[in-house]
Chain A
Amino acid sequence: MLYAILCYHDEDTVGSWTKEQDAAVMKKLAVVQDKLAKEGRLGPVARLLPTTAATTLRKDDPPLVIDGPYAETKEQLLGFYVVDCNNLDDALDVARDLAAANPGGAYEIRPVGVLNPGRVAT
């Protein structure tokens, strides 16, 4: 069974880390990640840019674009995509296509800062 582990933290606090503090945390995480990677168990790992860089597409008809992260609590996180796009407009087009196929709810579009594509042994 594959499990997704979603990371939550106080963005202000993480943003207040110094470069050294940030690097220290990343180093400790890398130890855990490396072990999993060696065992062929680590799939994609992404560090997202701050929520200030987020845009939300409400899947209404027509879809509504809102600046900022997804802030409602009445829907739940059910999945995610990582798509290579030229720019935000491009990403929104992809999201609109997805929305047309599956209306209702919303997509939060967030640039990925760091991506390790990983590889799960099958």
Chain B
Amino acid sequence: MTDTAWIDAALTSARPQAVGALLRYFRNLDTAEEAFQNACLRALKSWPQNGPPRDPAAWLIMVGRNVAIDEVRRNRKQEPLPEDEAISDLDDAEDALAERLDGSHYRDDILRLLFICCHPDLPATQQIALALRIVSGLTVKQIARAFLVSEAAMEQRITRAKARVADADVPFETPGAVERTERLSAVAAMIYLIFNEGYSASGDTAEIRAPLCEEAIRLARLLLRLFQSEPEIMGLTALLMLQHARALARFDADGAVILLDDQDRSLWNQKMITEGLALIDKAMRHRRSGPYQIQAAIAALHARAAEPDDTDWKQIDLLYGALEVLQPSPVVTLNRAVAVSKVRGPEAALEMIEPLASRLSNYFHFFGVRGAFLMQLGRNEEARVAFDRAIALANTSAEAAHIRMHLDRLMRDSQPRGAKAGK
């Protein structure tokens, strides 16, 4: 690996810790960010010559802090300068920092940073934009691209988020135990949102939005490192990995959706699956179930099946049942019905989703699934009506194309027998 590639990776991995510590000093997001940028510039100059420091994060924090303080001093030329050793005595700073970083402070710094991004005053769109900018260090351009908005619009979103944080009078002290637990679920939800932004992209945008999935996984890992015994965070990390492992198999060359049953399983990322399975295994030991763990367990059952027919649908049905109890939602029931159709047949599944009709009357997947069940039952005319409705509700061209495929099959199947045989 070249020097610059190594340095890039080191800067990226040190970022949350370094920006978190700088934020603790300066109590201002912009100042902390700028200090980190300046430190990175110095690192790019210094590290290739002097070799990488033993602790890149500590180096960046120390340099970032000193550069920022020097800047403040330069801007206040008129005022008497403070004593030198009081501010930027490098030896002192290094000792103090080394000591601090050995302790648990870095954990609190990163946590505070994540908590600020998930401030309850911020709408979800601003939370994820801020986290991607501040914690992950993606450029505004990269984030704008991933969210398919203009750079100016994204810049404005992030500026607004920062202004709200500044107005909100965020406490910079170490978060207490109660706050930690409360905000933890907000951070987990924010990470899951980032993931879904990437995961729910359609075929034509999947590639440019994929970095969102990778970034979410990195953030989940970071969070898991801070909360090593939290089964839901293990579940979240496992869930993201098990889903993202299928990324290469999810769309065909034209960008149309390929359903799980039809995916080329040799394209699944086995390395990611192994890690996801290990994490869910670890989480289950705690016997403290939660929505992320259950969803991860479902994804794990899919990942374990070498062929679609090997899928343990019975277990998946049970897991969706458990999820329905914890997190009742018509969408969960709809997903459960797919498992039920495999275990008990399409009739039972159809019966299960009929009561959802009014609540899901504008939901694309409801009509897609309903059409599929009807088609399996040979009720082709009703299936066609459901598929037509699904196409009208499709969110992406890939979704519409997928349903059209079903419709084409219906057309073929409903041709007279003689015509079919002559094909």
- Interface presence of A68 (CB below 8 A): yes
- Interface presence of B12 (CB below 8 A): yes
- Interface presence of B362 (CB below 8 A): no
Whether the pair A55, B275 counts as a contact (CB closer than 8 A) is no
Instruction: List which B274-291 residues lie within 8 A (CB) of chain A.
Output: 274-275, 278-279, 281-282, 285
Whether the pair B281, A87 counts as a contact (CB closer than 8 A) is yes
Q: How far is the CB of A64 from chain B (nearest CB, A)?
A: 12
Instruction: List which B258-281 residues lie within 8 A (CB) of chain A.
Output: 271, 274-275, 278-279, 281
| Among candidates A16, A50, A88, residue contacting B285 with C-beta atoms closer than 8 Å | A88
Residues of A close to B285: CB separation below 8 A: 55, 65, 88-89
| Among candidates A17, A25, A53, A89, residue contacting B278 with C-beta atoms closer than 8 Å | A53
Residues of A close to B234: CB separation below 8 A: 52
| Among candidates A12, A21, A67, A114, residue contacting B13 with C-beta atoms closer than 8 Å | A12
Whether the pair B282, A53 counts as a contact (CB closer than 8 A) is yes
- Interface presence of A24 (CB below 8 A): yes
Residues of A close to B306: CB separation below 8 A: none
Interface size on A, residues (CB 8 A): 26
A12 to B282 Cα, complex, angstroms: 21
Whether the pair A67, B9 counts as a contact (CB closer than 8 A) is no
Give the interface size class of chain B. Answer: 20 to 34
- Interface presence of A15 (CB below 8 A): yes
| Among candidates B224, B275, B278, residue contacting A88 with C-beta atoms closer than 8 Å | B278
Q: How far is the CB of B301 from chain A (nearest CB, A)?
A: 14
Q: How far is the CB of B191 from chain A (nearest CB, A)?
A: 14
A51 to B9 Cα, complex, angstroms: 18
Whether the pair A52, B221 counts as a contact (CB closer than 8 A) is yes
| Among candidates A16, A49, A53, A89, residue contacting B12 with C-beta atoms closer than 8 Å | A16
Residues of A close to B5: CB separation below 8 A: 17, 21
Nearest residue in A to B12 (C-beta to C-beta)? Answer: A16
Whether the pair A16, B275 counts as a contact (CB closer than 8 A) is no
- Interface presence of B10 (CB below 8 A): yes
A50 to B222 Cα, complex, angstroms: 11
Q: Which residues of B contact A (CB under 8 A)?
A: 1, 5-6, 9-10, 12-14, 56, 218, 221, 224-225, 228-229, 234, 237, 271, 274-275, 278-279, 281-282, 285
Q: Which residues of A contact B (CB under 8 A)?
A: 10, 12-17, 21, 24-25, 49-53, 55, 65-68, 87-89, 111, 113-114
A-B contact pairs, 30 of them (CB 8 A): A10-B10, A12-B14, A13-B9, A13-B10, A14-B9, A15-B13, A15-B218, A15-B221, A16-B9, A16-B10, A16-B12, A17-B5, A21-B5, A21-B9, A49-B275, A49-B278, A50-B275, A52-B237, A53-B275, A53-B279, A67-B228, A68-B228, A68-B229, A87-B281, A88-B278, A89-B285, A111-B274, A111-B278, A113-B271, A114-B271
Nearest 7 pairs of A and B residues by beta carbon: A12-B13, A68-B228, A111-B278, A16-B9, A67-B229, A16-B13, A53-B278
